[in-house]
Structure 1
């Protein structure tokens, strides 16, 4: 491809509806180039010089994480992985939609793609997880290490994350090897999904399983192979070492049951205040 463009293809390319986000991203990049000349090169290389919104995301991520690999080589590895796995294309778009839906600080499509380390750290994990599943352990661990160093998001490549996940601010987020995170979960800064010593469940899992639509407040620690039920809410700073029922709120250290989760979709509401349940 000319000018460093990255080709992203899929078998159903011709059947896909018109991509409304790609023209919007290009327009935002053009506006950024005009309004801030110092960033003209970034806008041109990361967005305007690319062939699709997937290619723009990949180019930016590879540029930030290259390290001992050339960004061009890493971008090609990412592009090849996306061509092999259509689920990657779907998941990253739902993650982008989650940022735009839940983060009031996101005023443009370009912002998470170019600047937000939570979104970028999550995409780095998606590629690392794909490589891990393919048996490319060293490449997966390299990506996880680079994401931790550059983006301050430490997710083990084996951890399984659903689509439409939102990691806000992201600094200090740690997700362990056997953790599972459902679709449409929101995670704030400083969250740990960690082990509780050598404790394992019957399947050998050491880390938490987070249900769909859960909101995990800033600094919360969820430890061990515990189940957090769908659409529950974990208060900021909580320490959770036992199961959490669906559609409930827990908070405190140790966490205690406070009542209903306060709304139908805590992950979208992003409400960390728990006055509504009497705390």
Structure 2
């Protein structure tokens, strides 16, 4: 058994750490033993655990847990990048959220992580041409998590959505790698046109709570959008914008604002 654990730790350190944390959690709080075993310790891989959580959280009288589990297992088997993105998202939450002290927390308790994981299944369905099933997953995510991400949107790896209340990401939006956003962020359109109409968010961008980024505009890599801002025009790389409408108020203040999560505005 010990040799098996060592092999797992070498091949998949993220999953190995989750299993160690899960065993400790059961010892510390036996009443959570059923939840922890069924969600984590019962599964041989992180992919299987993510598929189980997806099916458990989104099941309803309209769609059974078994059907959703089959869909998620098929998605992960077909596209290994889903598991890779899940690991990157998990590490991002652990690194950036001071309220996250263990890897197992996002999987079990954080709806921002769970919503992004569910979006990734919906996006896989969309890319396979299974549009109605993708829309169903989007609907359930909105109902369960309060997060509405169109399945056609493109979202990179290492994404953290903190708190995640009232997040809206539109159909033609693009979100780069290592992006952080807080609750009530909207990446929306500005009219009824059906073509490319949503924002393109570069790598490493930090989007503060309540910010609205509207239209087919580009937000440069490693920039910051202050809480409550309404962004209507392109933002250069490594800048901070604030206000309604937003304007450039200075540099980003650090090379990777989405990682440091520094949201304080300072005078240059």
- Say which of 23, 28, 38 aligns to 1:35: 28
Alignment deviations for residues 18-70 of structure 1 (CA, whole Å, 9 cap, x no partner): 21222321222222223223222101111111111221122112101111222
Equivalent in the alignment of 2:93? 99
What runs of 5+ residues in structure 2 fail to find an aligned partner? Answer: 1-6
Give CA deviations for 1:204-227 in whole Å, capped at 9, x if unaligned: 311100011100000000011111
Alpha-carbon offset, residue 17 of structure 1? 5.1
SS of residue paired to 1:51: coil
Counterpart Cα distance in 2 of 1:272 and 1:264: 13
Aligned match of 1:70? 64
Deviation at 1:198, TM superposition (A): 3.5
Q: Residues 90-129 of structure 1 correspond to what in structure 2 (within 5 A)? A: 90-129=84-123
After TM superposition, give the deviation of residue 141 of structure 1 in Å: 0.5
Is the Cα contact below 8 Å between 2:91 and 2:103 reproduced in 1? no
> Aligned residues, how many?
260
TM-score in terms of structure 1 length: 0.89
Deviations 1:167-187 (CA, angstroms, capped at 9, x unpaired): 111011100011011111101
Deviations, residues 94-136 of structure 1 (Å, cap 9, x unaligned): 1111111111111111100111000000011011001001110
Pick from 68, 76, 80: which aligns with 1:82?
76
2:226 paired residue among 235, 238, 257 = 235
Report the counterpart of residue 198 of structure 2 in structure 1.
207
State how far apart, in whole Å, the 2-side matches of 1:26 and 1:72 are: 24
Q: 1:199 touches 1:224 (CA, 8 Å); kept in 2? A: no
Match of 2:158 in 1: 164
Q: Given the two structures, how large is their TM-score scaled by the length of structure 2?
A: 0.93
Match of 1:185 among 172, 179, 184: 179
Per-residue deviation, 1:83: 1.2
Partner in structure 2 of residue 7 of structure 1: none
**Structure 2 CA distance, aligned partners of 1:232 and 1:148?**
28
Alignment partners' CA distance in 2, 1:132 and 1:18: 31
Aligned counterpart, 1:138: 132
1:253: how far off? 0.8
1:206 & 1:257 partners in 2: Cα distance?
22
CA distance in 1, matches of 2:88, 2:170: 23
- 1:267 to 2:258 alignment: yes
